[in-house]
Chains A and B, each alone.
Chain A
């Protein structure tokens, strides 16, 4: 396999979308081509960065505006439908009656033949779509041996120039190297509206029992539903256990569990920090040598940029560590509030649905028969012609 071909396949490989032969061949190539395995690593990190983006929600004000607009639209539609419905309904009914009679007559004639030719199949409404979304995303582990780069570093010379106590423990991370995996779960549970507050208390109790805490909490009550959103942080080793317990509190509507290996990123960020500190030190040295105000300003500006970058990456390390130690569970409890309208009309709605289902079934049957009729038309024409001819011949 050429490198060009291998690079084309890497993206599909990450998604597990290669066929087995391609995959084997690629893996063989990766084993002996450091360039392509570097490329794979970089691609995987790219994908991880995108996947780690925070979930975006629609701002409540904007969402309410759209909902109101939709309600108006739906109401307008309904009035129109009712007005035009009576007239169109009456006309349709008479036409439909004629059509049904024709279709039934034909059906009697050809029904037996038809059932021998084709087995009509009933479509069944699909499974809940929620299942589709329950994807377990597991990014593959970084190759072992990555940790070798993480030899305990010598105290960097910049430490003396930049004696900030806050930074020390960060550089120390590399000495206790291990697999760093961020576990995250998103979970949406439907709960009984009468029990939502109790469920919320149970969530808190469960999390605290597991040695975790509630990081963020919000509730939202709309006309027809109440939502409680919480962000839970729990020690990584209790993650799976807690998730299972939380699921017992209601019906799972949405679930996503992901494990993101950030070992490689750890090493990279540390290397980057080392390089930045060296740059910082060099700039400080230059600063003692420059003469003009203009030059001083320029160097200080560059220095400011580098220090900001150092801050950012230091923060990133600290954040990674926090995320690895404490798994995150984003939990949403949803309770449908019984509206005054929905309850009474439930029976009516079900009756209406049953009625509609039958109408639809009859419609489909009609369509099939019409199709068959079209196919049989030449035969019918022949029969009619023959019959006409016979009568013409008899009359003579």
Chain B
């Protein structure tokens, strides 16, 4: 029978190192997926995963199970990501992901009329949705990713984002609204009644 997370935490607290490795195996992908969506950079995401588990390794000894292990983990990951993003913003304002797109598009046109494989289309589609996510402010992005990718409940989100339940609700609502606008602007959603904002990107 597989052990519960709480059980593994107890084992680790009792000195069982395999238990910690099991927790790592269980959660590395989730941690990585969250970090990657927040930072949009594979190496940095891997660094965050490492730092997260190093901290857990220290912090878990004092962990009393006020929250579930997964909530605790998500909280560490998102805090680390937010720190990294803030550091980045203080440094220089690089527009990620959008730069270099023109070149890519041009190249695709050249050979693009042959036969697009389904997989390619799927990837392209996912890439554009990811890009849209990337254009959300980081706290909005965190809310959407935690809810709609990782499937956290509102209560869990409140624990991860360290804010009241009402804030979770309103932030998620605003985040989804903004994402809808971006997706519409990118023509991934049909233009119902487009809000005329200051168009950030002109095509």
Contact = CB atoms under 8 A, between A and B. Distances in A.
Interface of A: 7-8, 10-12, 15, 17, 35, 38-39, 42-43, 45-47, 49-59, 62-63, 65-67, 69-71, 73-75, 77-78, 81, 125-130, 132-133, 135, 137, 166, 190, 222, 224-225, 251, 253, 256, 268, 271-272, 301, 304-305, 307-308, 311-312, 315-316, 318-319, 322, 339, 341-342, 349, 352-353, 356
B180 interface: yes
Contact of A224 (B21, B36, B177): B21
A54 B49 contact: no
Contacts of A69: 50, 54
A170 to B, nearest CB: 12
A36 B113 CA distance: 39
Nearest to B70: A129
B118 A319 contact: yes
B74 interface: no
Contacts of A65: 46, 50
B57 interface: yes
A-B complex: 5 closest residue pairs judged by Cβ atoms:
A315-B121, A11-B173, A128-B4, A58-B32, A56-B33
Contact of B36 (A15, A56, A316): A56
Interface in B173-203: 173, 176-177, 179-180, 183-184, 187-190, 192-193
B63 interface: no
A132 B168 CA distance: 19
Contact of B6 (A62, A81, A129): A129
Contact of A63 (B1, B28, B68, B176): B28
B144 A133 contact: no
A82 B178 CA distance: 54
Interface in B60-92: 65, 68-70
Contacts of A62: 32, 42, 46, 49
Interface residues of B, number: 76
Contacts of B180: 42-43, 46
A319 B10 contact: no
B116 to A, nearest CB: 5
Contacts of A130: 2, 4
Contact of B29 (A58, A305, A342): A58
Nearest to A258: B151
Contacts of B5: 128-129
A65 B180 CA distance: 38
Given A49-B188, A70-B57, A305 B109 contact: yes
B3 to A, nearest CB: 8
Nearest to A272: B190
Contacts of B32: 56-58, 62-63
B190 A268 contact: yes
Contact of A67 (B1, B21, B170): B21
Given A56-B29, A70-B24, A251-B1, A315 B16 contact: no
Interface string B115-128: 11010111011100
Given A73-B57, A137-B151, 8 more contacts: A52-B126, A55-B29, A63-B32, A70-B24, A70-B50, A77-B57, A166-B115, A353-B10
Interface of B: 1-7, 10-11, 14-18, 20-21, 24-25, 28-29, 31-33, 36-37, 42, 46, 49-50, 53-54, 57, 65, 68-70, 105, 108-109, 112-113, 115-116, 118, 120-122, 124-126, 129-130, 133, 144-145, 147-149, 151, 154, 169-170, 172-173, 176-177, 179-180, 183-184, 187-190, 192-193
6 contacts: A55-B33, A65-B46, A253-B2, A311-B113, A319-B122, A349-B14
**Most A CB atoms within 10 A — which of B1, B31, B122?**
B122
B25 to A, nearest CB: 7
Contacts of B148: 47, 50-51
Nearest to B148: A50
B50 A225 contact: no
A66 B54 CA distance: 9
B189 A45 contact: yes
A314 to B, nearest CB: 8
Given A78-B17, A315-B118, A11 B4 contact: no
B189 A129 contact: no
A75 B69 CA distance: 23
Contacts of A59: 42, 46
A312 B109 contact: no
A269 to B, nearest CB: 9
A392 B74 CA distance: 64
Given A66-B53, A349-B16, A190 B4 contact: no
A271 to B, nearest CB: 7
Given A56-B29, A125-B7, A319-B118, A46 B2 contact: no
Contacts of B170: 8
Contacts of B154: 15, 17
A180 B153 CA distance: 27
A352 B15 contact: yes
